[in-house]
Amino acid sequence: MKIIKTLLLFALAGVILCSCEYEWIQPEKTPVPENVSFSADIIPIFDKGCNLGVCHGAGATPPELSPANAYQSLIDGAYVNTETPEASILYNTMESGSMQTYTDPGDEEIVLAWIKQGAKNN
């Protein structure tokens, strides 16, 4: 009788473990606009995840990414490299994974497109 109970317990455990399934759903990437605007496309990315007053707000960790100071802070701090956009500190930080928890999928591609378009303050 003990053997039957033990076998049933192992069979039940096997069924439970085999029935567990996890399906990873990749979130949709934000599409890259044809002409990227700093004020309309880049600042909202910073407002969502970077400029929360704690990380890159006024008086916090550089670069300051508040709407009023983000552009100058990025340019003065050499976070943007228009000659070799993929080498930009801003892009690499977003793309490497260290900042992906604070941004949406595809945000780094929008930033890269903005840099490739000359990193204009538009």
pTM of the model: 0.76
**What angle is formed at CA 98 by the lines to CA 94 and CA 100, rounded to 5 degrees?**
60
The more confidently predicted of residues 29 and 19 is 29
Each residue's pLDDT tens digit, 83-110 = 999 999 999 998 886 777 788 889 999 9
Give residues with Cβ within 8 angstroms of 121, minimum separation 6: 38, 71
Do the beta carbons of residue 100 and residue 91 sit within 8 Å?
no
- Written as one letter, the residue type at 78 is A
pLDDT at 24 over 80: no
Query: Which helix or strand (DSSP H or E) is residue 92 part of?
Result: helix 89-95
Of 15, 72, 67, give the one whose Cα is nearest residue 42: 67
